[in-house]
Amino acid sequence: MNVSAAARRSGLPAKTIRYYEEVGLLKPLRAENGYRDYSDDDVHMLAFLKRARGLGFSIEDCRQLVSLYRDRSRTSHDVREIAVAHVDILGEKIREMQAMQRTLKTLISACHGDHRPDCPILEDMAGVLQPHTH
């Protein structure tokens, strides 16, 4: 099947499918005319990649997961280790986002949101330090 059909069946944009091929996650056969010819197995792998990326795994993690998926002599321990490391990364990202949220809430509460031009939000982004008044 062509890339459009593979995109429809996998739920991924054609551009993403071509990117996955470019980075070596997928290698469809080529028809005699040189066009990509995606198999049912390719579509299954695209669905696998869609789910893995949807869970936030990096391209490199996906490369390892695809390799393990294809390796019938794999150990579940190896797969679990990738997932555990990813959960740690997600936890760190969550903490970073919570810190961003707290900062923005503080800045929003400091902003009058009126007709005046002074804005603590923009000043913070610009790195302008406000003098403290006592």
Per-residue pLDDT tens digits for 33-77: 888 999 999 999 999 999 999 999 999 999 999 999 999 999 999
- Residue listed under structure tokens 């986002």: 97
40-68 core/surface letters (b: 16 or more CB in 10 A; e: else): eebbebbebbbebbeeebeeebbeebbeb
Per-residue pLDDT tens digits for 66-86: 999 999 999 999 999 999 999
Please tell me whether the overall predicted TM-score, pTM, comes out greater than 0.85 for this model: no
Classify domain 1-74 at the CATH topology level.
Answer: Multidrug-efflux Transporter Regulator; Chain: A; Domain 2 (1.10.1660)
